[in-house]
């Protein structure tokens, strides 16, 4: 037993540090899933051998769709355009397919039609799709909407447009009253970020500015792996929003949330220590962050050199390790280390496959 633990922490531990840059030392204070869920994640991850990826091919170009809504006032319009420009700069650095809607008058249809069409023509499988909504929102107690120049769209409508997608999707709603988008859009493989924790936080939201800045800011790279994940950008942006209200001596009217485990519930930034959520959720609800930490708009050199299929499989294994770690307290110690060893060795085989291609 001691030999197995030594193997995992010494031999495989070196691999884990390279394969899981998000992991940090210390004991987490919250569970990100039940023991059965963790066990299923581990079993599914081990099921596909690395050799199956040698012949596989996956479209590896990220798509970034930036939607700028109706400004309402000229001052807001200038701010929204600046935030959109930051995202466009990031998309260019990422060599992403970039689609911007709302900065220029729509031709041959409304901005709503343009967004729906842009999503309709996107491949439903492949690399990441990032959808960034910059503007204002509304909530009538039942349905949240994003305000466009022309007809608006609701969270339910967007959920329908995204329903056919099987590729990883990140939806960032930087508008006021955006929280209900989490309930409608959460799904496995998706990350949903909102500027507010409630549909009734309807004042102008500044979160979008700080998130647009953080996505390319080296200071936002909390784990120092040479790239900023969506989780890291969310944490830094949330911190800067709080600092703004504190310095201004004003009551904060926005509190961002992040959801990435498909349960329709978001997690605030102050529940994280480093890049792990550590506060215990009410009634043991699963916490978020593992998947969002795998979304990188601008990847480091190592990530760019990994074949897309290998990266996707590696991400799946990393998630399984995260679920396993959170299930440790409910598991027999020897069973825990046996499963951990299998996952680490599978990641090692993935890197070996990619190095031989």
Q: Is residue 144 a contact partner of residue 135, using CB atoms and an 8 Å limit?
A: no
Distances (CA, A) of 198 to 142, 185, 195, 253, 257: 12, 15, 9, 10, 9
15 and 121 in a single domain? The answer is no
d(CA 345, CA 283): 35
Question: Global pTM?
Answer: 0.83
Per cent of the chain over pLDDT 70 is 81
153 and 267 in a single domain? The answer is yes
Above 50 in pLDDT, residue 281?
Answer: yes
pLDDT band, residue 266 (cuts 50/70/90): very high
Of 47 and 320, the one with more pLDDT: 320
Above 70 in pLDDT, residue 10?
Answer: no
Q: pLDDT tens digit string along 39-72?
A: 444 444 444 443 344 444 456 799 999 999 999 9
The secondary structure of residue 281, as a DSSP letter, is P
Of 88-102, 153-167, 281-295, 299-313, the range with the lowest mean pLDDT is 281-295
Per cent of the chain over pLDDT 90 is 67
Q: pLDDT tens digit string along 183-242?
A: 999 998 899 999 999 999 999 999 999 999 999 999 999 999 999 999 999 999 999 999
Per-residue model confidence (pLDDT) at position 59: 65
Of 121 and 49, the one with more pLDDT: 121
Question: At 170, is the secondary structure helix, strand, or coil?
Answer: strand
d(CA 250, CA 157): 35
**β-strand partners of 258:** 193, 267
82 and 182 in a single domain? The answer is yes
Mind spelling out the 3-state secondary structure of 178-224? CCHHHHHHCCCCEEEEECCCCCCCCCCCCHHHHHHHHCCCHHHCCCC
Per-residue model confidence (pLDDT) at position 355: 67
User: Whose CA is closest to 132, among 150, 158, 109?
Assistant: 158
237 and 288 in a single domain? The answer is yes
Above 50 in pLDDT, residue 144?
Answer: yes
Distance of CA 68 to the CA centre of its chain: 20
Q: Is residue 131 a contact partner of residue 193, using CB atoms and an 8 Å limit?
A: no
Per-residue model confidence (pLDDT) at position 28: 29
End residue of a domain, out of 268, 294, 320: 294
The secondary structure of residue 188, as a DSSP letter, is T
How many residues make up the chain in this entry? 357
Q: Is residue 162 a contact partner of residue 119, using CB atoms and an 8 Å limit?
A: yes
Q: Is residue 237 a contact partner of residue 214, using CB atoms and an 8 Å limit?
A: yes
d(CA 229, CA 211): 11
Domain containing 41: what range? 2-56+307-356
Is 302 contained in some domain?
no
**β-strand partners of 170:** 130, 191
223 and 314 in a single domain? The answer is no
**β-strand partners of 52:** none
For the chain, what is the domain count? 2
Is 299 contained in some domain?
no
- Which CATH number goes with the domain that contains 164? 3.40.50.1460
Per-residue model confidence (pLDDT) at position 48: 45
Per-residue model confidence (pLDDT) at position 229: 97
Is 300 contained in some domain?
no
Average pLDDT of the residues of the chain: 84
Q: pLDDT tens digit string along 61-115?
A: 999 999 999 999 999 999 999 999 999 999 999 999 999 999 987 777 899 999 9
220 and 341 in a single domain? The answer is no
317 and 245 in a single domain? The answer is no
Is 137 contained in some domain?
yes
283 and 341 in a single domain? The answer is no
> Mean pLDDT over residues 166-191, rounded?
96
d(CA 214, CA 296): 12
d(CA 39, CA 336): 10
Of 84-93, 99-108, 121-130, 335-344, the range with the lowest mean pLDDT is 99-108
Is 190 contained in some domain?
yes
Above 50 in pLDDT, residue 117?
Answer: yes
Q: Is residue 297 a contact partner of residue 90, using CB atoms and an 8 Å limit?
A: yes
């Amino acid at each position: 037993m001691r030999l197995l633990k030594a193997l995992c922490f010494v031999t495989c531990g070196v691999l884990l540090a390279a394969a899981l840059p998000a992991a940090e030392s210390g004991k987490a204070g919250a569970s990100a899933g039940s023991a059965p869920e963790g066990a299923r994640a581990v079993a599914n991850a081990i099921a596909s051998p690395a050799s199956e990826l040698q012949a596989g091919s996956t479209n590896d170009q990220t798509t970034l769709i930036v939607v700028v809504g109706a400004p309402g006032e000229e001052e807001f319009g200038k701010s929204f355009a600046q935030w959109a420009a930051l995202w466009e700069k990031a998309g260019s650095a990422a060599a992403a397919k970039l689609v911007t809607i709302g900065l220029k008058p729509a031709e041959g249809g409304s901005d709503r039609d343009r967004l729906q069409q842009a999503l309709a023509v996107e491949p439903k499988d492949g690399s990441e799709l990032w959808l960034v909504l910059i503007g204002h929102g509304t909530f009538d107690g039942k349905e949240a909407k994003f305000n466009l120049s022309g007809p608006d769209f609701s969270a339910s409508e967007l959920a329908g447009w995204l329903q056919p997608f099987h590729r990883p999707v990140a939806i960032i709603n930087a508008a006021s009253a955006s929280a209900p988008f989490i309930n409608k859009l959460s799904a496995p493989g998706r990350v949903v970020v909102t500027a507010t924790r409630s549909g009734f936080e309807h004042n102008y939201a500044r979160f979008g500015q700080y998130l647009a800045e953080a996505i390319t800011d080296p200071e936002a790279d909390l784990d120092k792996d040479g790239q900023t994940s969506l989780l890291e950008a969310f944490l830094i942006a949330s911190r800067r929003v709080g600092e703004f209200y504190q310095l201004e001596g004003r009551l904060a009217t926005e509190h961002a949330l992040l959801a990435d485990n498909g349960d329709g519930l978001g997690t605030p930034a102050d529940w994280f220590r480093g890049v792990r959520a550590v506060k215990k959720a009410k009634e043991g609800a699963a916490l978020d962050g593992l998947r969002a930490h795998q979304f990188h708009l601008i990847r480091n050199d190592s990530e760019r050199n990994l074949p897309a299929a290998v990266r996707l499989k590696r991400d799946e294994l990393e998630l399984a390790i995260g679920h396993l770690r959170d299930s440790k307290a409910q598991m027999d110690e020897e069973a825990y280390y046996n499963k951990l060893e299998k996952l680490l060795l599978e990641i090692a085989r993935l890197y070996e496959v990619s190095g031989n291609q």
